[in-house]
């Protein structure tokens, strides 16, 4: 994707809240007096997530570490092994 295409794509999804959850909520907008959902297809969701990862890399990495740690604990309780990241 070119830099210009990436810039245009970012305009599709408002990342204004400095909060990942609020930015997800902001994918439903009002245009010309009607509600519009910006996440219509699975591809829209994937694109939004990729842009969110670029916008909030530290938040995403911390969440992934937390989920990995939780999985380690659950697997240990079950007696399974998890491969390290």
Percent of the chain with pLDDT over 90: 35
Q: What is the extent of the structural domain holding 11?
A: 3-78
Entry pTM = 0.62
The whole-angstrom separation of Cα 34 and Cα 52 is 25
The whole-angstrom separation of Cα 27 and Cα 61 is 22
Establish if 58 belongs to a structural domain: yes
* pLDDT higher than threshold 90 for residue 47: yes
* Residue partners of 32: CB distance under 8 A and separation at least 6: none
* Domains of the chain: total: 1
Establish if 74 belongs to a structural domain: yes
Contact 26, 36 (CB under 8 A): no
Establish if 62 belongs to a structural domain: yes
5-37, pLDDT tens digit by residue?
545 566 788 888 788 889 999 999 999 999 999
Establish if 84 belongs to a structural domain: no
Establish if 9 belongs to a structural domain: yes
Establish if 83 belongs to a structural domain: no
Establish if 71 belongs to a structural domain: yes
Establish if 27 belongs to a structural domain: yes
């Amino acid at each position: 994707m070119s830099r210009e295409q990436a810039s245009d794509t970012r305009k599709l999804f408002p990342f204004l809240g400095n909060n990942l959850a609020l930015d997800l909520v902001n994918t439903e907008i009002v245009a010309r007096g009607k509600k519009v959902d910006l996440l219509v297809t699975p591809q829209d969701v994937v694109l939004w997530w990729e842009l969110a990862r670029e916008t909030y890399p530290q938040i995403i990495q911390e969440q992934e570490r937390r989920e990995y740690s939780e999985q380690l604990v659950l697997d240990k309780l079950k007696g399974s092994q998890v491969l390290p990241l």
